[in-house]
Amino acid sequence: MLAIDTNLIVRYLVDDDPGQAARARKLIDNNDVFVCTTVLLETEWVLRSVYGFSAAQCAKALAEFAGLPRVSLEDAAAAAKALGWMQRGVDFADGLHLAKVEGCEAFISFDPDFAKAANALGGIKVQAP
Protein backbone atom coordinates (compact mmCIF):
# COMPACT_ATOMS: atom_id res chain seq x y z
CA MET A 1 0.00 0.00 0.00
CA LEU A 2 1.20 3.48 -0.85
CA ALA A 3 0.41 6.59 1.18
CA ILE A 4 -0.41 9.55 -1.05
CA ASP A 5 -0.18 13.29 -0.61
CA THR A 6 -2.72 16.01 -1.18
CA ASN A 7 -1.25 17.04 -4.52
CA LEU A 8 -1.92 13.61 -6.05
CA ILE A 9 -5.56 13.70 -4.99
CA VAL A 10 -5.96 17.26 -6.27
CA ARG A 11 -4.39 16.37 -9.64
CA TYR A 12 -6.66 13.30 -9.81
CA LEU A 13 -9.79 15.35 -9.10
CA VAL A 14 -9.04 18.63 -10.87
CA ASP A 15 -6.86 17.54 -13.81
CA ASP A 16 -5.29 21.01 -13.99
CA ASP A 17 -1.84 19.68 -14.96
CA PRO A 18 -2.37 17.01 -17.62
CA GLY A 19 1.00 15.33 -17.11
CA GLN A 20 0.75 15.13 -13.34
CA ALA A 21 -2.94 14.23 -13.51
CA ALA A 22 -2.17 11.27 -15.78
CA ARG A 23 0.57 10.08 -13.44
CA ALA A 24 -1.67 10.51 -10.38
CA ARG A 25 -4.55 8.68 -12.08
CA LYS A 26 -2.30 5.78 -13.12
CA LEU A 27 -0.83 5.44 -9.63
CA ILE A 28 -4.17 5.69 -7.79
CA ASP A 29 -6.08 3.46 -10.18
CA ASN A 30 -3.40 0.73 -10.17
CA ASN A 31 -2.26 0.62 -6.54
CA ASP A 32 -3.78 0.31 -3.12
CA VAL A 33 -3.45 3.80 -1.65
CA PHE A 34 -3.81 5.11 1.89
CA VAL A 35 -5.06 8.62 2.66
CA CYS A 36 -4.29 10.14 6.06
CA THR A 37 -7.03 12.24 7.64
CA THR A 38 -4.71 15.25 7.53
CA VAL A 39 -4.22 14.77 3.78
CA LEU A 40 -7.99 14.57 3.28
CA LEU A 41 -8.41 17.74 5.33
CA GLU A 42 -5.78 19.58 3.31
CA THR A 43 -7.35 18.36 0.05
CA GLU A 44 -10.71 19.83 1.03
CA TRP A 45 -9.01 23.13 1.90
CA VAL A 46 -7.16 23.24 -1.45
CA LEU A 47 -10.29 22.41 -3.46
CA ARG A 48 -12.28 25.10 -1.66
CA SER A 49 -9.70 27.88 -1.35
CA VAL A 50 -7.60 27.42 -4.49
CA TYR A 51 -10.10 25.94 -6.95
CA GLY A 52 -13.28 27.60 -5.68
CA PHE A 53 -15.23 24.40 -5.01
CA SER A 54 -18.41 24.87 -3.00
CA ALA A 55 -18.98 22.76 0.10
CA ALA A 56 -21.32 20.50 -1.89
CA GLN A 57 -18.77 20.10 -4.70
CA CYS A 58 -16.02 19.27 -2.19
CA ALA A 59 -18.20 16.75 -0.39
CA LYS A 60 -19.17 15.07 -3.66
CA ALA A 61 -15.61 14.97 -5.04
CA LEU A 62 -14.10 13.65 -1.81
CA ALA A 63 -16.85 11.07 -1.29
CA GLU A 64 -16.41 9.79 -4.84
CA PHE A 65 -12.64 9.66 -4.40
CA ALA A 66 -12.95 7.85 -1.06
CA GLY A 67 -15.24 5.33 -2.73
CA LEU A 68 -12.67 4.28 -5.30
CA PRO A 69 -11.92 0.56 -4.96
CA ARG A 70 -8.23 0.93 -4.16
CA VAL A 71 -8.48 3.91 -1.79
CA SER A 72 -8.34 3.43 1.99
CA LEU A 73 -8.89 6.28 4.42
CA GLU A 74 -7.23 6.48 7.80
CA ASP A 75 -10.61 7.00 9.45
CA ALA A 76 -13.32 6.32 6.90
CA ALA A 77 -16.15 6.57 9.43
CA ALA A 78 -15.09 10.03 10.62
CA ALA A 79 -14.58 11.21 7.06
CA ALA A 80 -18.03 9.97 6.04
CA LYS A 81 -19.66 11.77 8.97
CA ALA A 82 -17.77 15.00 8.27
CA LEU A 83 -18.63 14.89 4.55
CA GLY A 84 -22.29 14.29 5.37
CA TRP A 85 -22.32 17.09 7.91
CA MET A 86 -20.57 19.35 5.41
CA GLN A 87 -23.65 19.13 3.21
CA ARG A 88 -25.67 20.29 6.22
CA GLY A 89 -23.62 23.44 6.82
CA VAL A 90 -20.75 22.25 9.03
CA ASP A 91 -17.22 23.08 7.91
CA PHE A 92 -15.32 19.90 6.97
CA ALA A 93 -12.57 20.47 9.54
CA ASP A 94 -15.15 21.11 12.24
CA GLY A 95 -17.00 17.98 11.18
CA LEU A 96 -13.82 15.94 11.56
CA HIS A 97 -13.32 17.43 15.01
CA LEU A 98 -16.85 16.44 16.00
CA ALA A 99 -16.52 12.95 14.58
CA LYS A 100 -13.41 12.37 16.67
CA VAL A 101 -14.88 13.47 20.00
CA GLU A 102 -18.01 11.35 20.21
CA GLY A 103 -18.64 10.32 23.78
CA CYS A 104 -17.52 13.66 25.17
CA GLU A 105 -19.96 15.83 27.09
CA ALA A 106 -19.48 18.84 24.79
CA PHE A 107 -17.14 20.43 22.27
CA ILE A 108 -16.05 23.90 23.37
CA SER A 109 -15.45 26.59 20.76
CA PHE A 110 -15.57 30.35 20.36
CA ASP A 111 -17.07 29.90 16.86
CA PRO A 112 -20.80 30.69 17.01
CA ASP A 113 -21.41 29.63 13.38
CA PHE A 114 -19.87 26.23 14.07
CA ALA A 115 -21.96 25.88 17.23
CA LYS A 116 -25.18 26.75 15.39
CA ALA A 117 -24.54 24.36 12.49
CA ALA A 118 -23.27 21.54 14.70
CA ASN A 119 -26.04 21.83 17.27
CA ALA A 120 -28.64 21.55 14.50
CA LEU A 121 -27.26 18.04 13.85
CA GLY A 122 -28.47 16.87 17.25
CA GLY A 123 -25.26 15.09 18.31
CA ILE A 124 -22.59 16.34 20.65
CA LYS A 125 -23.27 19.90 21.73
CA VAL A 126 -20.93 22.69 20.71
CA GLN A 127 -20.88 25.53 23.18
CA ALA A 128 -18.89 28.62 24.12
CA PRO A 129 -16.54 28.46 27.10
Domain ranges of the chain: 2-74, 91-129
- For the cut 90, the answer to whether the pLDDT of residue 87 exceeds it is no
What CA–CA distance (Å, rounded) separates 34 from 8?
A: 12
Please report which confidence band the pLDDT of residue 123 belongs to, taking 50, 70 and 90 as the band edges.
confident
pLDDT digits (tens, 9 = 90+) for 20-42: 999 999 999 999 999 999 999 99
Rounded to two decimals, the pTM is 0.90
